[in-house]
Amino acid sequence: MRNPILVIGGGISGITTAIEIAEVGHEVVLVEKLPYLGGKVIKFHEYFPKLCPPYCGLEINFKRIRENPRIKYFTSSTIEKISGDKGDYQAVIRHEAQMVNNNCTACGACVDVCPVERENEYNYGLDKTKAIYLPHELAFPFKFTIDENACKKQACSKCVEVCDYNAIHLNAIPATTDLKVSSLVFATGWEPYDANKLEILGFGKHPDIITNVMFERFTAPNGPTGGKLLRPSNGETPQNVIFVQCAGSRDENHLPYCSAVCCSASLKHALKVREKNPEAKARIFYIDLRVTGRNEDFLNKVKEDEGIELIKGKAGKIEIENNEIYVIAEDIASGRRLKTKADLVVLATGIVPSAVESIENGTEGFLDQLQNGYIASGCAKRPMDVSASLKDATAAALKAIQL
């Protein structure tokens, strides 16, 4: 008998690592800081290269987790402390106050009476939820959660009064679990680069300058517009959409590395613009188009579409004149400086590693050179797409078992 393996981060990489470990017979504990599993992938409507909904695969994985007694998972939890050495670590897991327990049936009676609204981080602040909310309609575990900072707690208690299942306890407090573990896998993934730092590209100066992750939510049927691609400024359908590649990436002032997935993501998004409105035009300004493997077929599909223009040239500036947006870029092929009007601009912001406290970071904060026997998996290690994350997660599982 050995101690369980601890996997930190419940995105596609962490889920895959945990399942692979458990299915060969080892105990595993999966810890996720958000109230649901699935990471960034669950927020996509469709994912390349096949453009299928990620929920199909995730649902199978959730079933494998539910049915495997060797997997224990904790959501709304983080790691407070790790000590010990290779093969014999001690971890302290911190669980946020569980104000909604597993009696919750997600009936929604609490939402109807909750008087407080808060920004919905699932949709990158593009809409609001009540202080008690279901993170999204496919959430696993499927139960409501409470935003501790927004909730008025005992000063209100309306949700407690209407709950027929004794599921809400507003006086719940955080708890910890001490655990001895034999291996540690960091699958903590990525966050989008903060577009507010890209002042020259106008983010925050006009509502119709958005980021690629916001675009994903605008095209998702469970997103803030019910899947309609609309200009945030006036709710109209955009006719002329510009994608600005390397918004932050491959830039010494921001992220000196390539974020690896943004080119394929913008190709996917440009096709989506055309699918939503065949009259609309999409232009992609790029330094190099970095698409490999099966995503190259995807690039060919874009090239065949007359409504999509691929322009080699980095967009250096975005100007707002009389409330209109102009993208300034050099067209490398013609050597001309272009000033192109757009009614929606999508900044292909890069990937930054999620912060992981208490361990030494590798290059650029990605956990690619871990000491002390720690193992990294997926985008915690470096930017990669889902297909590469799955392979990396399986490799991490094998390493964790072998340690």
Ligand X SMILES: Cc1cc2nc3c(=O)[nH]c(=O)nc-3n(C[C@H](O)[C@H](O)[C@H](O)COP(=O)(O)OP(=O)(O)OC[C@H]3O[C@@H](n4cnc5c(N)ncnc54)[C@H](O)[C@@H]3O)c2cc1C
Contacting residues toward ligand X, per CB under 6 A: 8-14, 31-34, 39-41, 44, 47-48, 78-79, 187-190, 212-213, 216, 261, 265, 268, 351, 354, 356, 378-379, 384-387, 389
Q: How far is the CB of 369 from ligand X (least distance, A)?
A: 17
Question: Closest CB to ligand X among 92 and 338?
Answer: 92
Q: How far is the CB of 79 from ligand X (least distance, A)?
A: 6
Chain residue whose CB lies nearest ligand X: 11
CB 345 within 8 A of CB 210: yes
Contacts of 89 (CB under 8 A, 6+ apart): 6, 82, 83, 180, 181, 182, 183, 184
Distance CA 236, CA 294 (A): 34
Q: Quick one: which H or E segment has residue 212?
A: helix 212-218
CB atoms within 10 A of CB 53: 16
Question: Closest CB to ligand X among 114 and 213?
Answer: 213
The closest of 248, 238, 233 to 201, measured between CA atoms, is 248
Q: How far is the CB of 43 from ligand X (least distance, A)?
A: 9
Question: Closest CB to ligand X among 122 and 168?
Answer: 122
Question: Closest CB to ligand X among 158 and 399?
Answer: 399
Question: Closest CB to ligand X among 184 and 265?
Answer: 265
Question: Closest CB to ligand X among 26 and 40?
Answer: 40
Distance CA 184, CA 395 (A): 13
Q: What are 145's strand-pairing partners?
A: 133
Q: How far is the CB of 295 from ligand X (least distance, A)?
A: 8
Question: Closest CB to ligand X among 144 and 215?
Answer: 215
Q: How far is the CB of 19 from ligand X (least distance, A)?
A: 13
Q: Directed axis angle between helix 386-402 and helix 12-23, to 10°?
A: 40
Q: How far is the CB of 177 from ligand X (least distance, A)?
A: 14
The dihedral over CA atoms of 259, 261, 263, 268, expressed in degrees to the nearest 10, equals -150
Distance CA 205, CA 398 (A): 48
Q: How far is the CB of 142 from ligand X (least distance, A)?
A: 17
Q: How far is the CB of 257 from ligand X (least distance, A)?
A: 14
Q: Quick one: which H or E segment has residue 302?
A: helix 295-304
3-state secondary structure 229-279: CCCCCCCCCCCEEEEEEEECECCCCCECCCCCCHHHHHHHHHHHHHHHCCC
The closest of 275, 267, 325 to 299, measured between CA atoms, is 267
Question: Closest CB to ligand X among 37 and 168?
Answer: 37
Distance CA 281, CA 270 (A): 9
CB atoms within 10 A of CB 301: 14
Q: How far is the CB of 133 from ligand X (least distance, A)?
A: 17
φ, ψ at 345 (rounded to 5°)? -120, 130
Question: Closest CB to ligand X among 90 and 103?
Answer: 90
